[in-house]
Amino acid sequence: MVCVHLKMAVGIVLAVLLYVISVVSSTHPKEQTVVGIIGQPVLLPCDRSTLATPNYPTKTRIYWQDLTPRVLHVFKDGNEEYVHQNLWYKNRTTINTDQLASGNLSLLLNPVNVRDNLLTCKVFLIINGVNSQECQITVNVAASYQKPTLNFTDMTLVCTTHGGFPEHQVTWRTHNRTLERHEAVTKTTQDPGTGTYNISSQVNVTEGQNITCSIYNPILNETQSNFIVIPASKEENHLLKWILAAVCPLVVLLTAVVLCVKYPNLRKSWRKMIHCCPEPEPENTAQEPARFPTPSVTVNKTNMNATCSTQGGYPQPVVTWTIQDRGNHTLDPWEVQTNITLDSESGLYSVWSQVNITENQTVTCHIFNPVLRETVSNTTIVSPSKSINTDPAGACDRTQHLIFMN
Ligand SMILES: *[C@@H]1O[C@H](CO)[C@@H](O)[C@H](O)[C@H]1NC(C)=O
Ligand SMILES: *[C@@H]1O[C@H](CO)[C@@H](O)[C@H](O)[C@H]1NC(C)=O
Ligand SMILES: *[C@@H]1O[C@H](CO)[C@@H](O)[C@H](O)[C@H]1NC(C)=O
Ligand SMILES: *[C@@H]1O[C@H](CO)[C@@H](O)[C@H](O)[C@H]1NC(C)=O
Ligand SMILES: *[C@@H]1O[C@H](CO)[C@@H](O)[C@H](O)[C@H]1NC(C)=O
Ligand SMILES: *[C@@H]1O[C@H](CO)[C@@H](O)[C@H](O)[C@H]1NC(C)=O
Ligand SMILES: *[C@@H]1O[C@H](CO)[C@@H](O)[C@H](O)[C@H]1NC(C)=O
Ligand SMILES: *[C@@H]1O[C@H](CO)[C@@H](O)[C@H](O)[C@H]1NC(C)=O
């Protein structure tokens, strides 16, 4: 009695266990997710232990269908059958009929289209009228974003990338922080043909900033990024140019003034170009010394004076007069009227010197060059006048001199 109850209990437990196993195995088939790249083939894998039954393949049907449901592919009574295939999947599905018996129910979808995204394919197997779902495969469609290109103009930076799927946010990062979403203006366009996205994002930047633009593909777990170090702004470059343009002439002018003051010999040549230099001073010594030509001495009997002149020497000479009749007596400066001028064109000196004379005097004019230590001189003899009465002043002078001489 006890034994019978025990056997019943074990039987019930076993039945429940088997039921649970069967329910689990049939209503929770192998679920998988695969990634399909746009334009490329994707394998929807489905592996079952084996199909080897006495009635395979004649009493066997296999269906691949999505959740709509639309039929992707059909294998029936030993052949592939396309009558029920949905147009959307036409020419894009392949199975390996040779491997079906060994349980390989995988289907190849080629090429993947953006509209295949989130396609869930179920594989149903019907053997001898017994239906079972073998697999459930979901396709996540993806495409890589291109490495972003950065275009910097007028303190705004535009990051552009294209050909990616699915759509995702561009992120911006500087050396110490990630920019907020509102700091960027993002524009996304979807290519009508391929369904891929072009994304461009624009931010305002500051000079010297090292800024990175990144686009993440969550399906491929792939990040594409590019960075740029913002150059100094054009405005600052212009400012710098202006400063240089203003400072350079000032420096040149200052240098010129300093040189003028420090090296007076430079002034002469610069005086014509720059009006900053004062007149040259007589103690100019750096110019090459120049010999004075022998002076000419002319006698004016009307005024009873002798004039000595020469020009083209350097530096300023010392002019003296001597009178032979008085034992080569040198005239005192107050007895002599001398005018020495510097010619600004040639930079050389002209000498003009005049003394009063009396008849029969022998006067000599000496021009001494202090640098060359050279004297040039000329002598003239004042001959007696033949027309004494025509010049009362001269007669007076003459009388005086005669008296003086005597
Ligand atoms: C499938 O391929 C055949 C032959 O290559 C072609 O005639 C047909 O238009 C294609 N069907 C579709 C839906 O692409
Ligand atoms: C199943 O068949 C597909 C081709 O349809 C093949 O690529 C795959 O490797 C096969 N799987 C196994 C486990 O043999
Ligand atoms: C960068 O942006 C400027 C202004 O928006 C545009 O004229 C230029 O063609 C762009 N350059 C590139 C390489 O995209
Ligand atoms: C990042 O650095 C910049 C200058 O280098 C500074 O002005 C800013 O406050 C910093 N931000 C954070 C969040 O540390
Ligand atoms: C960039 O700066 C301009 C002018 O300062 C402003 O109008 C624009 O909104 C800014 N752009 C962003 C994304 O903050
Ligand atoms: C996306 O970008 C590519 C490459 O720059 C371009 O050829 C294509 O026309 C763009 N598509 C759209 C919709 O903007
Ligand atoms: C700018 O930042 C990027 C990314 O952090 C880094 O690889 C690069 O070396 C930096 N460049 C400079 C010049 O700092
Ligand atoms: C994504 O890739 C990074 C490295 O590139 C890796 O560390 C991480 O584990 C990946 N995440 C996933 C979910 O695969």
Q: What pLDDT, in 10s, does the model give residues 40-73?
A: 999 999 998 777 677 788 889 999 999 999 999 9
Average the pLDDT over each of 158-162, 300-304, 402-406 and give the range with the smallest value.
402-406
2 CB-near residues (< 8 Å, 6+ apart): none
**C-beta 151 within 6 A of ligand 3:** yes
Residue pointed to by tokens 């394998």: 43
Residue 138, token pair as written in the block: 């979901």
**C-beta 204 within 6 A of ligand 5:** yes
Q: Which segments of 45-155 are extended strands (E)?
A: 60-65, 71-76, 79-80, 93-95, 107-109, 119-127, 130-142, 149-153
Give the start-to-end residue ranges of the domains of the chain. Answer: 29-142, 149-229, 235-271, 296-405
Q: Please give the pLDDT value at position 351.
A: 85
The domain over range 29-142 is classified in CATH as 3.30.300.30: no
Q: Whose CA is nearest to atom 2 of ligand 1?
A: 91
* Partners of 122 in the β-ladder: 65, 136
Q: CB of 368 within 8 A of CB of 285?
A: no
Q: Please give the pLDDT value at position 18.
A: 45
Q: Please give the pLDDT value at position 267.
A: 57
What pLDDT band is residue 21 in, cutting at 50, 70 and 90? Answer: very low
Using CA atoms, how far residue 278 sits from 61, 97, 223, 252, 264, in Å, is: 117, 111, 75, 18, 9
**C-beta 177 within 6 A of ligand 4:** yes
**Is the predicted pLDDT of residue 25 greater than 60, yes or no?**
no
What's the mean per-residue pLDDT of the chain? 81
Residue from 70, 88, 91, 109 whose mutation best tests the ligand 1 pocket (most atoms within 8 A of CB): 91
Of the listed ligands, the closest to the CA of 88 is 1
Confidence (pTM): 0.60
Q: How far apart are CA 49 and CA 102, in angstroms?
A: 7
212 closest CA partner among 252, 171, 245: 171
Q: How far apart are CA 331 and CA 321, in angstroms?
A: 6
**C-beta 352 within 6 A of ligand 7:** no
What's the 205 CA to ligand 5 centre distance in angstroms? 10
What pLDDT band is residue 372 in, cutting at 50, 70 and 90? Answer: confident
Q: Please give the pLDDT value at position 167.
A: 96
Q: Which atom of ligand 6 is nearest to the CA of 189?
A: 13
Q: Whose CA is nearest to atom 11 of ligand 6?
A: 191
Q: CB of 163 within 8 A of CB of 149?
A: no
Q: Which amino acid is at 133?
A: Q
Q: What is the pLDDT of residues 92-102, one digit of tens each?
A: 999 999 999 88
29-142 shares its CATH topology with 149-229:
yes
Using CA atoms, how far residue 402 sits from 190, 252, 359, in Å, is: 128, 67, 9
Question: Number of C-alpha atoms within 13 angstroms, CB side, residue 402?
Answer: 8
What pLDDT band is residue 122 in, cutting at 50, 70 and 90? Answer: very high
Under CATH, domain 149-229 is a member of which superfamily? Answer: Immunoglobulins (2.60.40.10)
Residue 135, token pair as written in the block: 């697999």
Q: Which atom of ligand 5 is nearest to the CA of 185?
A: 13
What's the 34 CA to ligand 2 centre distance in angstroms? 15
**C-beta 157 within 6 A of ligand 5:** no
Q: How far apart are CA 346 and CA 280, in angstroms?
A: 13
Residue 270, token pair as written in the block: 């610069």
User: Percent of the chain beyond pLDDT 90?
Assistant: 44
What's the 162 CA to ligand 6 centre distance in angstroms? 7
Of the listed ligands, the closest to the CA of 217 is 8
Average the pLDDT over each of 73-77, 323-327, 360-364 and give the range with the smallest value.
323-327
Of the listed ligands, the closest to the CA of 212 is 7
Residue 251, token pair as written in the block: 């420096």
Using CA atoms, how far residue 231 sits from 54, 83, 176, 209, 337, in Å, is: 78, 65, 18, 8, 76
> Mean of the pLDDT values across residues 108-121?
96
What CATH class does 296-405 carry?
A: mainly beta
Residue pointed to by tokens 């003051």: 261
Q: Please give the pLDDT value at position 265.
A: 61
List, as one string, the DSSP characters of 327-339. Answer: TSEEPPGGGEEEE
145 CB-near residues (< 8 Å, 6+ apart): 161, 162, 163, 164, 168, 199, 215, 217, 222, 224
| Three-class DSSP category at 150 | strand
Q: Please give the pLDDT value at position 139.
A: 98
Q: Which segments of 111-155 are extended strands (E)?
A: 119-127, 130-142, 149-153
Q: What is the pLDDT of residues 282-317, one digit of tens each?
A: 444 467 888 889 898 888 888 888 898 999 999 988
Q: Please give the pLDDT value at position 300.
A: 87
